[in-house]
Structure 1
Amino acid sequence: MDGQQVLDTVRFISQFHRARGSDEYSLLVERLKELLISWGIKEDQIEVFEYSTGGIRYGNFDSTMVWNIRDAELWLESPRTFLSSFKSCKTSVLFGSNPTHGWKTLELVDESYTGDLSDKAVLVQMNPSKAFKQFVEERNAKCLLVYFMRAQDESIGRTPNQMPDTTNYIALPHTLKASQHGAFGFSLTYRQHQFLKNLANKGFKVRLFIDSELKTGTMKVLRIRFTGSLKKKIGIVAHLCHPSPGANDNASGAALALHLCRELREKPLAFGVDVILLPEFYGAIPYAAQHSDYEFVINLDMVGEDQQKTGSTLLLHETPPLLNTVYDELLYDSILLFAPSSSDSFSKRFYRSTFKSGSDHSVFENYSVPSPFLGQWPDRYYHTSDDTPDKCDPTMFEWVGKAVLRTLELAHAVPGYVVEHAYGRLNGFLKKVDGKPGADIVANVVKRAHGEKIEPLQAKVHIAPSTEGPLGYEWFDKAGELSEKREIVNLGEVIQLCARYLQDYDATISFASTYLNIDEKTTQDVIDILLKNDFLRRVS
């Protein structure tokens, strides 16, 4: 595994503005097919699957429209001052912006303005989804100028004051229904926002245009298949979508997955391997619904960070023990084996954690496929214009690539000591749950997931998910004050998995609260919210 070659591929991918289903995304898929063939991958090993998008729902996700963006500019009208353009910064246009159909001159106002907003540019500092609801849906605004930085973290220099000239990658809702409002807008730097804040509500105007289109269409999933001597298969998944540059998120995972193909072309394999590049969630859900016959799937998402520049740590997010975790243990063992070292100690940061949501591993786990996640977090440049290839480290690609390759090679015959370690962790967890309500059901499901031949136990208060696939994010709007708690995202997804596999109310509370180390009252409150709003259902 040559980390420098992987980095070169990151540079190539990061040139493309990879909105789901867009012309550039489709062009990139074709270029990657050509690249694979040039490496000696046979054309019949490469397949492209297409799934509809726009006006269709996958599980708990309303699919977005296909969005193509060609050009855009934003100016202060007088005194004439250039602010930003799509050509100078690809993240400057809010993802999903409708076209303006030519230049528009709009009066600049901010969140405090109480008059008609239909012919105004509204300056906000808030989550664009909330701004869309508050100003577009409720007050008929068309143009939003937004500053919003997710996941602020002063310890790694990720705050507005520490990154005043960074443009965040943020989006307007652009489902079929949302797109009917005709909204558009720009993502501002913090410095631009502060400059315009001083001019808002004083008669100043901005001049802008956006040349884009929103339409229904399809999303492409690229799969490269390597057959093995046995019928069982492993998946390697990485999401290919995101704006340009989007180097670590997630050109890094996609590039490493491609170079795994380069390594696998000559290797004799026992388990077959599918390498799958797709749009995050919106491609993973329909794909996994049709292709869930994997022993396990490794999700590569943000694997290449230069830790000194980004403040990141390599993470292994485990599969919850509701599914088989032996392969997680093999991957963990392989990561430790190849960890870069200096003076008899690791020279890179690495941490193993319980399940965390937020990417395609949660999709496959909802389709009964164990799916360990490899990525890095936090990241100073996450979802910004500064997520460029110079923030990647070839050593990280070599480390992760070697660990994944060893896992693929040994999956058909996992070493005995690795199996013992996995069962030791399982037994430790079951001891924590022992004596709690539903503990017998938890132990039964966990043991059966790991191969023990025992009869399933019947749920006492039977609950189940209302849809296939992961829980998603829509439920936050129903969560009230609970939505402000940091652990709620992961708790919701674990509850969804518990309802799918444990199928018992008390067992779900005991498993989720113990596994994530969250109090039982909060866990019960979230379950009750999900039941009340039909994300979960009681089964007679």
Structure 2
Amino acid sequence: MMQQTINVMKERIQTRGLYQIVKEVSSFHRIQASGGFRAAANWCCDWLNSRGVQARVLHYPAPAGGYAGSYRLFQEWNCTAGWCRLAGPEGFVLADYSVEPISLIQKSCACDWREQTLDLVEMTEGCEEEAYEGWDLEGKVLFTHQHINKFSWAIQKRGALGIVSDYLNETPHVRIPEELLDALNYTSFWWEHTPGERQAFGFVVSPRTSLHLQKLCRQRRQAFEKGECESPYLALNAYVEATLENGTSEVVEAVLPGESEESVLVCAHLCHPCASANDNASGVAGAMTLMAAIHAAVEAGQLPPLKKTIRMILVPEFTGTYNYLNDGRDKTLYTAGINLDMIGAKQEDTTGPITVTGLPFAMPSFEGDLATLLLQELKQEVNSREDLLLQNVRTDAVPFGLGSDHFILSDPQVGIPSIMLGQWPDKYYHTNADTIERLDMNVLKFSTLLAAVYVYTLCDLHKRDARLILNHQCTRLMARMEAITRRAMLAHSDPRELAAQLGALKEFYTEAARRLCEQAGLEPAKPLARLNALLPGRVQWAEEGPVYRRLFGDPLESLEKRMLDEPDKLALVREYNRRHEAEPDKEMQEALCVYYIDGVRSCGRVADQVIAELGGGNKAMLLEYQRLLAGCGLLETVR
């Protein structure tokens, strides 16, 4: 059945159609909770309905400081104009929203300095407040070279009005500013909406413009020291026409009804600035296309009717998924999912393979094995030039990671085991250089084809396909055993640590195989015996400390934001973060820790299982983190 589905979807999914969707979607400036996002959502909804796919736009409140589950919401932002230019003889335009929307720091507040000038203060001493003792920043615009969040103190406590930022998010071995001299970094204020919060405006300049601006700032300071001018600062004019107010945030939902209300979920984030083609117009195009292709194939009798329902959501990243899962729907009806995030860039230079990101061990299931099996199955036969192009797409499989909406869905409390299909690294992500010219439609077709077959297979899981997945599970288990053992030998690890890592791996695959057999109607005894023969024995987890139960139903995107309305608890969180800010993989350790807290495992066992899954970690920090969550009222003690 799997190969038949592949052949049908190869015919139904066309590169030209994918291109047209990416072209349209990338033309919208799709900032979360904005009119631009809403316009893009409406376009996607209309496209789906025109192809016979039931679709609607869901509207959720976007209030200051509201919550969707454990996620803190923010207001709707709309902008119609914004620019910044140097005043006087040096004058040139630094940024213009009408020409390049990403040149405005998103969620900037309104300002009007068209007739009066502002001083531009270059922050030459880094980003720590202590380095600027005695500097007058009141009413000034800061020219900054680090992430804008590092200068929030200057806005909130020292009266700075705005920022001109040259920050470009560097990626080790992938990109540096010198290689992207004309790129603008996607930059946004993320207002906390707390009492007394001061808001600001800001603009983004490219590395090339920054070099010129730094030179002008240096020359002005030198001229001032010589008494040749009255101020050490360049002057600029700025104007932003924007509103920030309670509004709405949208999610596009599309449905292909099946015989059962049980559903497989397809997710892609629609947000980000114009153009943001790979991140993530590509994922949106893949999600929409697979829905239309499956619908058309079933209608034409090429594929049997769906046993389960397929639901697709196009969301503002994180925000929309939290809203969708907390609107009163029955999450137990969702049996599995896939998140499509960056799936179509040209595989050249440092742009990476199409990657299947697996499941966390706390959410054991077989979906990752199905997806990695499909990485191979899609390349089995070459009957055309297009097949050859698809066969040449580079692919990879990696363990669970954070960074996109699958991290929400795969939380055991949410209970929707969801892989991510993505692409990493990407040299141009989160910049205005992420344009449609960077995409390869054959790569995008490969990703869309894989996602379509994955989703349809999960809706109608045949015993033959299940047996193929079970065989593949054994292959993957052996490969991961070998990788873990090799890493432990090279690191001269304690044998007990190796045993814990292998034991955690076996627990995951045993439960994944059991779940697969249950869904496919297979007897599990033989598959489980085979797994046990490959990796005999089991780990005995030591129970240590209290047992906690979670009082929140989805993962913590940010504990600090969750505590913004409780100052005493917020202080504890910030002190904890300050002490552990240098801890490697801190966010991953904390996320997995939350996943494992289930009212049964002790806090010591939770920490041990996190460390076993990652192959390392900080047990003392993990124990402290659980005490912190309990102190914040997010956990209750079972015993």
Deviation digits for residues 188-227 of structure 1 (CA, Å, limit 9, x no counterpart)? 2122223222344523111111111111111111111011
After alignment, is 377-386 or 485-494 more displaced? 485-494
- After superposition, what is the alpha-carbon deviation per residue over 1:49-98, rounded to whole angstroms, capped at 9, x for unaligned? 22222320234432122111111111111222122201221111111110
- Give the aligned partner of residue 268 of structure 2: 238
5 Å-filtered alignment, 1:91-490, equals: 91-101=102-112, 103=114, 105-111=117-123, 112=125, 114-132=134-152, 134-153=153-172, 155-156=173-174, 158-177=175-194, 180-200=197-217, 202-266=232-296, 267=298, 268-289=305-326, 290-291=328-329, 292=331, 293-308=333-348, 311-339=351-379, 347-366=392-411, 367-411=414-458, 412-413=461-462, 414-422=465-473, 436=500, 443=507, 447=511, 450-451=514-515, 461-465=546-550, 467-474=552-559, 477=574, 478-480=576-578, 482-490=580-588
Structure 1: gaps (5+ residues): none
The residue type equivalent to 2:547 in the other structure is: H
Question: How big is the shift at 1:504?
Answer: 2.6
Change (3 A) 1:441 1:203: closer
| Other structure's SS at 1:52 match | strand
Deviations 1:153-192 (A, max 9, x none): 3x33x10111121100011122323894121101221222
User: What CA distance in whole angstroms lies between the structure 1 residues aligned with 2:403 and 2:416?
Assistant: 16
CA contact (8 A) 1:73 1:86 kept: yes
* Counterpart for residue 608 of structure 2: 510
Q: Deviations over 1:400-439 (max 9, x none)?
A: 12212222232233421303433675797799989659x7
Q: Find the aligned partners of 1:362 and 1:148 in 2 and give their Cα distance.
A: 27
- Indicate whether 1:32 and 2:44 are aligned: yes
**In 1, Cα distance between the equivalents of 2:474 and 2:33?**
43
Distance 1:238 1:350 in 2: 20
Q: Would the aligned equivalents of 1:433 and 1:510 in 2 still touch at CA under 8 Å?
A: no
Aligned-partner residue type, residue 20 of structure 2: D
The structural deviation recorded for 1:116 is: 2.8
Contact (CA 8 Å) 1:240, 1:251: kept in 2 or not?
yes
The answer to whether the Cα contact below 8 Å between 1:239 and 1:254 also exists between their aligned partners in 2 is: yes
Report which of the two has the higher share of helix.
2
The residue identity in structure 1 corresponding to 2:73 is: S
Deviation at 1:317, TM superposition (A): 0.8
Aligned length: 529
Alignment deviations for residues 221-269 of structure 1 (CA, whole Å, 9 cap, x no partner): 1111011123321000001111111111111101111111210213221
- Is the alpha carbon distance of 1:390 and 1:344 closer, same or farther for their aligned partners in structure 2, counting shifts above 3 Å? closer
CA distance in 2, matches of 1:179, 1:85: 30
**Which stretch of the first structure deviates more once superposed, 458-467 or 11-20?**
458-467
TM-score (norm 1): 0.89
Q: Which of 62, 78, 90 in structure 2 is aligned with 1:68? A: 78
SS of 1:529 mapped into structure 2: helix
Q: Measure the CA separation in 2 of the matches of 1:501 and 1:309.
A: 48
Q: 1:529 aligns with which of 625, 630, 634?
A: 625
Question: Aligned match of 1:82 in 73, 93, 96?
Answer: 93
Task: Note closer, same or farther for the CA distance 1:328–1:445 as it changes in structure 2 (3 Å cut).
Answer: closer
Instruction: Give the aligned CA root-mean-square deviation in angstroms.
Output: 3.2
State which drifts further: 3-12 or 369-378: 3-12
SS in 1 for 2:286: helix
Tell me which moved more, 238-247 or 23-32: 23-32
**Do 2:70 and 2:552's aligned partners in 1 also have CA atoms closer than 8 Å?**
yes
| TM-score for both structures, normalised by structure 2 | 0.76
Q: Provide the C-alpha distance between the structure 1 equivalents of 2:56 and 2:391, rounded to a whole number of angstroms.
A: 39
Given residue 152 of structure 1, which amino acid in structure 2 is its aligned partner?
T
